[in-house]
């Protein structure tokens, strides 16, 4: 899983701020203890000096340092015992002056064995959720809050299934997709009229997948194609447009919304093929959401694009009455 640079930079900044805050609070606590018992400050300084002398003695060449090191260790243990007794006299635990990292795995560095530690990944996940929340209502749009009651139970004669039965299947499919998400999870095509829940379920998937630490990019087709066009024709200088294109191609899950609302040009056709084909080749998951029906996709986009979508995407057809209109009518 690979978070894009913008998310990582924000996470690192918050990580370092929280780390500094913990260090400041620990320093204040230590200072308060030293004010109550000044001898503890002296012991703290002596212990730090003792450790330095142990290291320098152990590294000294040409002599046998073992006796000196043992003497220094004995002195160190005596200081620790004195500190323990003084702290007990203040009603404080023996380890209250020790510097303990919030993450024992990486020692608050954020990295472990050359890889991002889970503590820093948690920061990245939170920053990514903030980013997604600027576009999606992640606070309310979840699988738990999705309601089937808005979908008619009467069977559609042409399809042999009711809108509610169909949406129950789609809901279960999206739940399984999010729960089992990982490399090579596959792709979804959400197709149907506006107001049927496509964006809601996209948000629910984004919420679950992002919460598991995967990188998620959600954006409209028009905006994504605009970023590709800006990169291609140099309409925007700097690293920002390059980063936007990279994150579309490299994220673990891309959710491309409102496909078909963009002005379809030869460049847009090329950009869409690049996105679809590159992510299939790299086994990176994509969700396409469109108001167009499958036949409309075939008329609007090139055979190469449609072939890749038909061969590599699971189609989830939404049908029924516009939920937003129904909610407005019922107040």
Q: pLDDT of 39-60, one tens digit each? A: 888 888 887 776 666 556 556 6
Residue 180 pLDDT grade (very low, low, confident, very high; cuts 50, 70, 90): very high
Instruction: Look at residues 320, 324, 326, 262 and name the one whose alpha carbon lies nearest to residue 289.
Output: 262
Q: Do residue 301 and residue 173 come from a single domain?
A: yes
Residue 95 placed within a domain: yes
- Kindly give, in sequence order, each residue whose CB lies less than 8 Å from that of residue 126, ignoring residues fewer than 6 positions away: 11, 14
Q: How do beta strands 115-116 and 111-112 pair?
A: antiparallel
Whether 64 and 211 share a structural domain: no
Count the Cβ atoms, other than its own, within 10 Å of residue 139: 11
Looking at the fold, whether 51 and 193 belong to one and the same domain comes out as no
**At which of 46, 78, 112 does a domain end?**
112
pLDDT interval class at 315 (50, 70, 90): very high
Q: Is the pLDDT of residue 176 over 90?
A: yes
Confidence category of residue 132, pLDDT binned at 50, 70, 90? confident
Q: How far is CA 60 from CA 43, 65, 66, 108, 138, in A?
A: 25, 7, 11, 32, 61
Residues 191 and 257 in one domain: yes
| Neighbour tally for 239: CB within 10 Å | 9
Lowest-confidence pick of 3-7, 146-150, 250-254, 276-280: 3-7
Examine residue 125 and state whether it is found in any structural domain, yes or no: no
pLDDT, position 136: 67
pLDDT-derived band at 16, boundaries 50, 70, 90: very high
Say what the pTM is. Answer: 0.72
CA 27 to chain centre: 32
Count: domains in the chain = 2
Both 164 and 210 in a single domain? yes
Query: Same domain, yes or no, for 95 and 151?
Result: no
Task: Give the residue-averaged pLDDT of 282-304.
Answer: 93
Q: Which residue, of 80, 97, 112, is where some domain finishes?
A: 112
Kindly state whether residues 98 and 170 are assigned to the same domain.
no
The residue out of 57, 78, 112 marking a domain boundary is: 112
Domain with 54, as residue range(s), is 21-112
Q: Are residues 56 and 178 in the same domain?
A: no
């Amino acid at each position: 899983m690979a978070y894009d640079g913008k998310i990582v930079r924000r996470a690192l900044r918050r990580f370092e701020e929280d780390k500094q805050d913990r260090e400041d609070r620990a320093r204040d606590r230590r200072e308060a203890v030293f004010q109550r018992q000044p001898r503890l400050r002296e012991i703290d300084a002596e212990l730090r000096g003792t450790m330095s002398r142990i290291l320098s003695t152990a590294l000294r060449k040409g002599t046998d340092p073992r006796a000196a090191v043992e003497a220094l260790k004995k002195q160190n243990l005596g200081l620790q015992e004195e500190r323990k007794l003084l702290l007990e006299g203040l009603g404080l635990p023996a380890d209250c002056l020790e510097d303990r990292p919030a993450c024992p795995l990486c020692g608050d560095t954020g990295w472990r064995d050359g890889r991002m530690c889970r503590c820093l990944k948690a920061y990245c996940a939170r920053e990514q959720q903030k980013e997604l929340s600027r576009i999606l209502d992640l606070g309310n749009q979840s699988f738990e809050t999705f309601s089937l009651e808005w979908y008619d139970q009467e069977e559609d004669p042409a399809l042999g299934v009711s809108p509610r039965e169909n949406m129950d299947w789609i809901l279960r499919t999206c739940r399984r997709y999010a729960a089992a998400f990982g490399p090579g999870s596959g792709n979804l095509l959400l197709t149907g009229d506006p107001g049927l829940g496509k964006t809601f379920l996209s948000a629910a998937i984004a919420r679950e997948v992002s919460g598991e630490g995967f990188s998620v990019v959600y954006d409209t087709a028009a905006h994504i194609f605009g970023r590709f066009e800006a990169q291609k024709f140099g309409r925007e200088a700097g690293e920002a447009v390059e980063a936007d294109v990279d994150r579309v191609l490299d994220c673990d899950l891309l959710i491309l919304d409102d496909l078909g609302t963009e002005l379809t040009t030869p460049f847009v056709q090329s950009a869409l093929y690049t996105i679809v084909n590159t992510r299939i080749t790299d086994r990176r998951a994509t969700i396409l959401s469109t108001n167009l029906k499958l036949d409309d996709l075939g008329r609007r986009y090139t055979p190469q694009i449609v072939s890749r979508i038909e061969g590599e995407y699971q189609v989830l057809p939404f049908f029924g009455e516009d939920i937003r209109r129904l909610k407005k009518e019922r107040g």
